[in-house]
Amino acid sequence: MGKNVVEKIDDQVEVKTILVSVSDKSGLETFIPQIVEINPDILILSTGGTHGRIKEILGAKADQCLKQVSDYTGQPETQGGLVKTLDFKIYLGLLTETYNTAHQDDLKRTSALAIDMVVVNLYPFSETIAKPDVTCEDARGNIDIGGPTMIRAAAKNFIRVASVVDPSTYPSILDKMKNNNGALSLADRYDLAQKAFEHTAVYDRTIADYLFKQSNDSVKSCYQLGE
């Protein structure tokens, strides 16, 4: 299969479908109602506790615009939230390109939607390892997989998708959308992609630094080793 080269994109992309899955839920109480006000037909896909918080924020309006990721994908979340967003329909929706006919055919074939914005921040790994007496197993359990994957997919596809990783940017994003008929520009998306890759780079560096500091004996002490 040949390498895909994108030549045509849209500068302005209206935000019609967003995926929200955040550890830090601060700012959602203003961000979510305002984004619905900007586009009353918006679809919000969400998971777990984030879905519960958005449903609480929107009240009766949630029935019109909020959907569980598991209902969208047809795959229930696994025990402990192990797998929630790692699904073909999600990543097709994030990576698809507007003027690629094969991508558009794949969307139709799978009944998937192009996702225009990802709002994700990650499990607080640095806070976990800062706790006294933290074990390697505590740290391992707080390594986020789906979050960084969504962020990276959205940021890679900045030609169409906005990747939002920092609640402090919510007000400026809302202002831009309000002043631009619910759309974000290529410059906006590119700026967000820069922040997104910096965010995941720092996250991975923190994990790597922690793991390098652990001895094999300290790791073994966390577990009962089978044969």
Q: What distances in angstroms separate CA 15 from CA 12, 37, 44, 127, 176, one per listed residue?
A: 10, 12, 10, 33, 12
Residue 22: predicted pLDDT: 95
Q: Which two tokens stand for residue 100?
A: 């690629």
Residue 218: predicted pLDDT: 87
Residue 194 CA to its chain's centroid (Å):
15
Residue 34: predicted pLDDT: 98
Q: Is residue 5 part of a domain?
A: no
Q: Is residue 197 part of a domain?
A: yes
Question: Could you tell me the residue range of the domain that residue 147 belongs to?
Answer: 13-220
Coil vs helix vs strand at 58:
helix
Q: What distances in angstroms separate CA 208 from CA 37, 125, 145, 204, 205, one per listed residue?
A: 42, 11, 14, 6, 5
CATH number at residue 171: 3.40.50.1380
Q: What distances in angstroms separate CA 87 from CA 32, 119, 181, 215, one per listed residue?
A: 24, 17, 31, 35
Instruction: Look at residues 139, 120, 98 and name the one whose alpha carbon lies nearest to residue 200.
Output: 120
The ranges of the chain with pLDDT < 50 are none
Q: Is residue 225 part of a domain?
A: no
Q: Is residue 176 part of a domain?
A: yes
Residue 28: predicted pLDDT: 98
Q: Is residue 227 part of a domain?
A: no
Q: Is residue 4 part of a domain?
A: no
Q: Is residue 6 part of a domain?
A: no
Residue 133: predicted pLDDT: 87
Residue 227: predicted pLDDT: 66
Whole-model pTM: value is 0.91
Q: Is residue 51 part of a domain?
A: yes
Instruction: Look at residues 127, 150, 148, 125 and name the one whose alpha carbon lies nearest to residue 208.
Output: 125
Quote the mean pLDDT of the chain: 91
Residue 3 CA to its chain's centroid (Å):
26
Residue 24: predicted pLDDT: 93
Indicate the number of domains in the chain: 1
Please give the Cα distance from 136 to 21 (Å, whole number): 25
